[in-house]
Amino acid sequence: MELTREEERALQGEYGDGLKLAYKILVSIGNANDATKLISIKWAHISGVNFNTIGEAGVRFLSELDKETKVTVTTTLNPMGFDSKKDNNISEDFKANQHSIINSYLSLGVIPSFTCIPYEIFTLPKKGEIVSFAESNAAVFINSILGIKTNKESSLSSLASAITGKTPYSDLLIDDLRTPTTSIKPDIDIQTESDFGLLGYFAGKIAKDICVGLEINSEGLDIIKSKAISAGIGTSGMCGMFSNKNNDCEKISFGQTELTQVKDELNTAEKGDLIVFGSPQLGLEEINLLGHLTERKKFKKPCLIFCPRSLTECNNKMIRKLKKAGADINCDSCTCLTPLITKNDYDSIVTNSIKCAYYMKHANKIDVSLKDMKSITKEYCE
Amino acid sequence: MRKINCKKIVGGKAQGLALLSNKPLNMLSMFDTKTGQIKDKDHDLFNQTLKNKILIFPNCIGSSVGAYIFYSLKINDVSPKAVICTNKCDIITASGCAISDIPLVDGTGASFESLKNNTKVTVDADKQIIIIHTV
């Protein structure tokens, strides 16, 4: 990889330990991915905020970063482990580690957004611009729906890019590589957000490359469905983008058999003791839909909803309605690797989210009943 | 002595005894970070420790936060002296070795089949050379 004279100096440590380490991370990743150079970015979105994701090693690494180190581009943060403004049944040890992580990131000058859907909250750079996004659902969404370019970054690579304002020029940043080599062709009429999520999950598994084809009509794809596909793809593989560009590539059909096959993998219970919405966090459209579906009704089981704090702060009528229906609204956090839902309290949950189902099953070891939002409100509200 | 060309991913030079595997490693789920031992019964390196070894393996798989496990091994003084990826080097291994100051090279294309565990190996990432020392 070619470095400019300035980049070389920074890598040698002439501009401080923080920049030296950040360049070292980017150069190693650039070497691994056959990047030819570093390129400037307009935004970074960092993952690895929840203590459950980065653990004690992450806490220590972040706390040992040079205190003079700052981010040089607009940088947003993924969710942390719990809602900072609520009393949670979280251990003191977890809280202390979580606060250490947050303090480390704040000292770098990031925006404490604690959201995994920055594309629904912020005005992001324009189509065609290059960014460094680590949250997998967000990376897939902005590449595929908004045409903003990012590789599927990691906690460390997005952090290094936030500090340097640069990323290795490789893979999905190169226009010629944003074309699928395998395409999924649905043979069935997919209607619900959960089934779109399963389509994404299937596509992510099958994809041999960084961009997978989905032969679906983009006009029928609203934000809820696009988000479900993006989160599904982000959960199951290394793929960072989907495209419905019609090109000559290998076609794989997605019919009832394939749908049932991936559903059976994640849907392990008939019913749930807890209703969970929000992985990725719910955005305005989903909150509105859920509010309508539960109007003048009550949840029959406890219901946890995860959404960005900004949605609760604008005197949102729907949030008030959902609270009235008995929902417990949680900000700053998400279901992915949450310490809030444990096997001690619940044997099973019901959710419409593929990402939530996957992490509940694999990380929290809790059974999942997978249903779409409409069916859940029909069955679990009265 | 046999010299093998390789590609530098993280610079540095180290010498140690080879620890070989044909299987990828999932950093996040397989390690005891206190001892550096692999704790996955299905892995061919089960109960082996990476401490002071030259790890020769295909690549890492799983969550990218697995990179912090390399850092954990380093601060617990049980990390490998150098790492050689025999498949395409992935970003978990690359960023993990970068923050832990572990020399790392991509040895894709080279044959390590005749190499046995505990053979002395030198990795010179800066010169992009691996030296296999014969006894």
Tokens of A33: 């991915």
Reduced to 3 states (helix: H, G, I; strand: E, B; else coil), residue B45 is coil
Disruptive mutation site among A29, A45, A97 for chain B (greatest number of B CBs within 10 Å): A29
Question: For residue B11, what are the domain limits?
Answer: 2-132
User: Is pLDDT at A247 greater than 90 in this prediction?
Assistant: no
pLDDT at A152: 94
Closest approach of A24 to chain B, Cα-based (Å):
6
A236 shares contact with chain B (CB less than 8 Å): no
Contacting residues of B for A160, CB less than 8 Å apart: 95
Residues A71-108: tens digit of each pLDDT: 999 999 999 999 999 988 899 999 999 999 999 999 99
pLDDT at B64: 83
Of A24, A28, A57, the CB nearest to B72: A57
Q: What share of chain A has pLDDT > 70, as a percent?
A: 99
Reduced to 3 states (helix: H, G, I; strand: E, B; else coil), residue B66 is helix
Q: How far apart are CA B133 and CA B121, in angstroms?
A: 6
pLDDT at B29: 81
Reduced to 3 states (helix: H, G, I; strand: E, B; else coil), residue B40 is coil
Contacting residues of A for B33, CB less than 8 Å apart: 57
Q: Could you tell me which chain B residue has the CA closest to the CA of A363?
A: B29
Contact A28 B98 (CB under 8 A): yes
Look up the CATH number of the domain holding residue B28: 3.50.30.10
Please enumerate in sequence order all residues whose Cβ is within 8 A of that of B103, keeping only pairs 6 or more positions apart, or say none: B10, B11, B12, B13, B14, B81, B82, B83, B97, B123, B124, B125
Contact A60 B69 (CB under 8 A): no
A155 shares contact with chain B (CB less than 8 Å): yes
For residue A48, the tally of other CB atoms under 10 A from its CB is: 27
Residue A241: φ, ψ to 5°: -165, 145
Set B63, B100, B111, B114: catalytic member: B63
Distance of CA A112 to the CA centre of its chain: 16
- Written out in words, the top-level CATH class of the domain with range A5-175 is alpha beta
Of B8, B10, B95, the CB nearest to A154: B95
| Domains contained in chain B, number | 1
Bridge partners of residue B54, in order along the sequence: B18, B82
Residue A23: φ, ψ to 5°: -65, -35
B125 shares contact with chain A (CB less than 8 Å): no
Antiparallel, parallel or unpaired: β A250-254 and A327-330: unpaired
User: Is pLDDT at A238 greater than 90 in this prediction?
Assistant: no
Residues B69-78: tens digit of each pLDDT: 999 999 999 9
User: Is pLDDT at B118 greater than 80 in this prediction?
Assistant: yes
Q: What share of chain A has pLDDT > 90, as a percent?
A: 92
Q: What share of chain B has pLDDT > 70, as a percent?
A: 99
Closest approach of A159 to chain B, Cα-based (Å):
11
Q: Name which residue leads in pLDDT, A351 or B66.
A: A351
Residues A129-172: tens digit of each pLDDT: 999 999 999 999 999 999 999 999 999 999 999 999 999 999 99
Confidence category of residue B135, pLDDT binned at 50, 70, 90: low
Q: What is the mean pLDDT of residues B121-131?
A: 97
Contact A28 B64 (CB under 8 A): no
Contact B65 A60 (CB under 8 A): no
pLDDT at A219: 81
B99 shares contact with chain A (CB less than 8 Å): yes
Please enumerate in sequence order all residues whose Cβ is within 8 A of that of A73, keeping only pairs 6 or more positions apart, or say none: A41, A42, A43, A44, A161, A162, A165
B122 shares contact with chain A (CB less than 8 Å): no
What's chain A's length in residues?
382
Q: Could you tell me which chain B residue has the CA closest to the CA of A157?
A: B95
Closest approach of B10 to chain A, Cα-based (Å):
6
Q: How far apart are CA B53 and CA B24, in angstroms?
A: 16
At the topology level, CATH places domain A268-380 in: Aconitase; domain 3 (3.30.499)
B68 shares contact with chain A (CB less than 8 Å): yes
Q: Could you tell me which chain B residue has the CA closest to the CA of A160?
A: B95
Q: Quote the DSSP letter at residue B65.
A: G
Among this protein's residues, is B63 annotated catalytic? yes
User: Is pLDDT at A203 greater than 90 in this prediction?
Assistant: yes
Q: What is the mean pLDDT of residues A301-311?
A: 97
Q: What is the mean pLDDT of residues A206-221?
A: 90
* CB B37, CB B128: distance < 8 Å: no
Which amino acid belongs to residue A54? I
Tokens of A364: 């929290």
User: Is pLDDT at A178 greater than 90 in this prediction?
Assistant: yes
Confidence category of residue A237, pLDDT binned at 50, 70, 90: confident
Handedness of CA B50, B55, B56, B59 (dihedral sign): positive
Disruptive mutation site among A21, A31, A358 for chain B (greatest number of B CBs within 10 Å): A31
To the question of pTM greater than 0.90 for the whole model, the response is yes
Mean residue pLDDT of chain A comes to 95
Reduced to 3 states (helix: H, G, I; strand: E, B; else coil), residue B134 is coil
Confidence category of residue B127, pLDDT binned at 50, 70, 90: very high
B71 shares contact with chain A (CB less than 8 Å): yes
For residue A32, the tally of other CB atoms under 10 A from its CB is: 27
Q: Could you tell me which chain A residue has the CA closest to the CA of B87?
A: A32
pLDDT at B109: 86
Q: What is the mean pLDDT of residues B56-79?
A: 92
Mean residue pLDDT of chain B comes to 94
Q: What is the mean pLDDT of residues A124-133?
A: 98
Torsion-angle region of residue A201: left (phi > 0), alpha (psi -120 to 50) or beta? alpha
Disruptive mutation site among B8, B28, B68, B106 for chain A (greatest number of A CBs within 10 Å): B68
